[in-house]
Homo-oligomer: A and B are copies of this chain.
């Protein structure tokens, strides 16, 4: 690889002149401009970004940390494509690093991006607690933004969505329609989102003065297969139910498969609601309802805030986003209550 020095020699000028021309800072005469550009062409010169970043102490790169178990979900797709587009519009690059499967590895991923001297880091945490995040943020100069979490001490660095509230509303929607035997399929319970959605369900039942029946709460793992297994166990246990709230659309899809196999239709026999509103979900069955998470809104806000932190400018402070209920059915419970 040819260096700036070589270009300078070829053009008969100094490195400084070449640098000035390339960075657009400082004056360069038309004549030397031509000569330098030609030398660059001849040499096939390309700037070494490592050297440049080292010298300027900037990288024009934003890091993103997410666990690779998320890479399968369309929630992450949305996050990634939104972030990539917004950042590139802003002339920056996104660097994605795997947070793997523990709090320690998640922290290492953040550290790696910081060591790479990324201008900022966006974290979609899976294992690190809110307190850990808060502490990491205060230890570093670079901005670290946290998606899907309500931070305690660095509120402006976090952005979140009221999962409990949307789950509450979805449950209440079913209750309003007359459903009383509502099964709930949880996500992985080591995830705060899963816990919040479960608590929203419970809260809605309680608000209605209904008991929480543990046999109607089945543990899932976010995957279609675990959603299918959940409904199978429900059927096997012979527990009556007229509606299912699945903690994400993937599990709702798995649930629907088993319902169909059992000759139960949605929503005539069983009402089914998922969360996240993944792109293929509406195509599965017009009757599948879903709670749409405001991923794109959150990502937009995170990046806007980041840009204003880095480049200066207005800093908005909208931390809390709301889900949108997309309900495609409004069917009262049918005669079916268990096998």
Instruction: Please state if B96 and A250 are interface contacts (CB–CB under 8 Å).
Output: no
For the complex, give the distance between the alpha carbons of A319 and B46 in Å: 31
From the candidates B100, B139, B286, name the one contacting A257 in the complex (CB within 8 A): B286
Q: Does A236 contact B (CB under 8 A)?
A: no
- Which residue of chain B has its CB nearest to the CB of A98? B84
How far does the Cβ of A42 sit from chain B's closest Cβ, in whole Å?
14
For the complex, give the distance between the alpha carbons of A139 and B2 in Å: 13
Instruction: Please state if A94 and B96 are interface contacts (CB–CB under 8 Å).
Output: yes
- Which residue of chain B has its CB nearest to the CB of A105? B88
Q: Does A47 contact B (CB under 8 A)?
A: yes
Q: Does A14 contact B (CB under 8 A)?
A: no
From the candidates B77, B115, B224, B261, name the one contacting A286 in the complex (CB within 8 A): B261
For the complex, give the distance between the alpha carbons of A280 and B190 in Å: 23
Query: Within 8 Å CB of A114, what residues of B?
Result: 46
Kindly supply a per-residue 1/0 record for chain A positions 196-208, scoring 1 wherever the CB is within 8 Å of any chain B CB and 0 otherwise.
0000000000000
With A93-B112, A95-B96, A224-B279 already in contact, 18 other A-B pairs whose C-beta atoms are closer than 8 Å: A1-B141, A47-B115, A49-B117, A50-B117, A68-B84, A68-B85, A71-B77, A71-B80, A71-B81, A72-B74, A73-B77, A77-B77, A80-B96, A88-B100, A224-B280, A253-B283, A256-B283, A261-B286
Residue contacts A-B, CB under 8 angstroms, 18 given? A48-B115, A49-B116, A50-B54, A68-B81, A71-B84, A72-B77, A73-B77, A74-B74, A77-B77, A80-B96, A84-B96, A88-B98, A94-B97, A224-B279, A253-B280, A254-B283, A261-B286, A280-B280
List residues of A whose CB falls within 8 A of some B CB.
Answer: 1, 44, 46-51, 53-54, 59, 68, 71-74, 76-78, 80-81, 84-85, 88, 93-98, 100, 111-112, 114-117, 139, 141, 224, 228, 250, 253-254, 256-257, 260-261, 279-280, 283-286
